Amino acid sequence: KAGVTQTPRYLIKTRGQQVTLSCSPISGHRSVSWYQQTPGQGLQFLFEYFSETQRNKGNFPGRFSGRQFSNSRSEMNVSTLELGDSALYLCASSSGRGEGVGDEQYFGPGTRLTVT
C-alpha cells in the first residue's frame, strides 16, 4: 500500500507570495490533517478535513486555508507569505471513522517551505 505523498518536497518563495501544497492520503483513508513544524513552536495542528469538510482547525491566521477533494486528496494554501511561515509542513492521513477513536495517523515526508 502506498504511503502518504506530499508535493512538492521543497519550495522557496518570497514574502508576499502565496503557495499551495498538496497531499495524497493512503488509499481508503478519508481524513487528512495538516501540521506545521518549526524549531521554535514544534509541531502544531493546522486543520483536518474529512469527506471534503473541515472538521477541526488550529490556531492559525486566516492566511492558512485548505480543502479536500472527493478523492480525499487535500491541498493547503498560504497567502501573503511571511518569513515566519518557513517550516516543514506535514500531512497525515487516517481512516477517519468519524468517531474520534484516536485513529493512527500516518504522515507524509513533508514539504519544506522557505520564505525569503
Site residues for another protein per CB under 8 A: 31, 33, 35, 42-45, 48, 50, 55-56, 58, 88, 90, 92, 94, 96-110, 112
Measured from the CB atom, is 19 or 93 closer to another protein? 93
- The C-alpha cell at 16 is 508576499
| φ, ψ dihedrals at 85, nearest 5° | -80, -5
Shortest Å distance, C-beta 4 to another protein: 9
Minimum CB separation of residue 35 from another protein in Å reads 8
Which residue, 10 or 83, has its beta carbon nearer to another protein?
10
Strands (E), the chain: 5-7, 10-13, 19-24, 31-38, 42-50, 53-57, 64-68, 74-78, 87-94, 106-107, 111-115
- Smallest separation (angstroms) from another protein to the CB of 80: 25
89: left (phi over 0), alpha (psi -120 to 50) or beta: beta
CB of 45 to another protein, least distance (A): 5
Closest to another protein by CB, 89 or 115? 89
